[in-house]
Amino acid sequence: MDFRTDFKPVTVQPQEIEDLSFQMIADELGEHPFTDEQFPVVQRVIHASADFDLGRSLVFHKDAIQSGIAAIRSGKKVVADVQMVQVGISKNRIEKYGGEVKVYISDRDVMEEAKRLNTTRAIISMRKAIKEADGGIYCIGNAPTALLELIRLVKEGEAKPGLIIGMPVGFVSAAESKEELAKLDIPFITNIGRKGGSTVTVAALNAISIMAERLD
Amino acid sequence: MDFRTDFKPVTVQPQEIEDLSFQMIADELGEHPFTDEQFPVVQRVIHASADFDLGRSLVFHKDAIQSGIAAIRSGKKVVADVQMVQVGISKNRIEKYGGEVKVYISDRDVMEEAKRLNTTRAIISMRKAIKEADGGIYCIGNAPTALLELIRLVKEGEAKPGLIIGMPVGFVSAAESKEELAKLDIPFITNIGRKGGSTVTVAALNAISIMAERLD
Banded model confidence at residue A9, pLDDT cuts 50, 70, 90: very low
A152 vs B contacts (CB less than 8 Å): 3-4
Contact B169 A48 (CB under 8 A): yes
| pLDDT score, position A134 | 87
Give yes or no for a contact between B186 and B154, defined as CB atoms under 8 angstroms apart: yes
B174 vs A contacts (CB less than 8 Å): 50
Q: Could you confirm whether domain A59-214 is CATH 3.40.50.10230?
A: yes
Query: Could you give the C-alpha distances from B160 to A2, B120, B154, in angstroms and in order?
Result: 22, 22, 6
| pLDDT score, position B142 | 94
Task: Return d(Cα B85, Cα B123) in angstroms, integer.
Answer: 17
Query: Could you give the C-alpha distances from A131 to A101, A135, B163, in angstroms and in order?
Result: 15, 10, 45
| pLDDT score, position B12 | 59
CA nearest to B210, candidates B73, B81, B63, B83:
B73
CATH class of B57-214: alpha beta
pLDDT digits 0-9 by tens, B167-201: 999 999 999 999 999 999 999 999 999 999 999 99
Contact B12 A195 (CB under 8 A): no
Ramachandran class of A70: left when φ > 0, alpha when ψ lies in -120 to 50, beta otherwise: alpha
| pLDDT score, position A5 | 44
B173 vs A contacts (CB less than 8 Å): 1, 17
Q: Nearest C-alpha of chain A: how many angstroms from B108?
A: 18
Contact B152 A83 (CB under 8 A): no
| pLDDT score, position A12 | 59
| pLDDT score, position B6 | 46
| pLDDT score, position B4 | 42
B17 versus B12: which is more confidently predicted?
A: B17
Task: Return d(Cα A1, Cα B188) in angstroms, integer.
Answer: 23
Quick one: three-class SS letters along B109-167?
Answer: HHHHHHHHHCCCHHHHHHHHHHHHCCCCEEEECCCHHHHHHHHHHHHCCCCCCCEEEEC
Q: Which residues of A90-121 are buried (b: 16+ CB within 10 A; e: fewer)?
A: eeebbeebebebbbbbebeebeebbeebebbb
Q: Which residues of B are catalytically annotated? A: 47
ipTM of predicted complex: 0.92
Q: Give the sheet arrangement for strand A78-80, strand by strand.
A: A58-60, A188-191, A163-166, A137-140, A78-80, A101-103
**Taking all residues of chain B, what is their mean pLDDT, rounded to a whole number?**
93
For an interface test with A, give the residue of B198, B202, B206 to mutate (most A CBs within 10 A).
Answer: B198
B199 vs A contacts (CB less than 8 Å): 84, 169, 197-199
Is residue A6 over pLDDT 50?
Answer: no
Q: What is the mean pLDDT of residues A149-169?
A: 97
Is residue A41 over pLDDT 60?
Answer: yes
Is residue B2 over pLDDT 60?
Answer: no
Q: Which residues of A are catalytically annotated? A: 47
Is residue A7 over pLDDT 70?
Answer: no
Is residue A105 over pLDDT 60?
Answer: yes
**DSSP symbol at B48:** H
Would you say the C-alpha torsion A17, A20, A26, A29 has a positive or negative sign? negative
Closest Cβ–Cβ partner in A10, A50, A169 for B194? A50
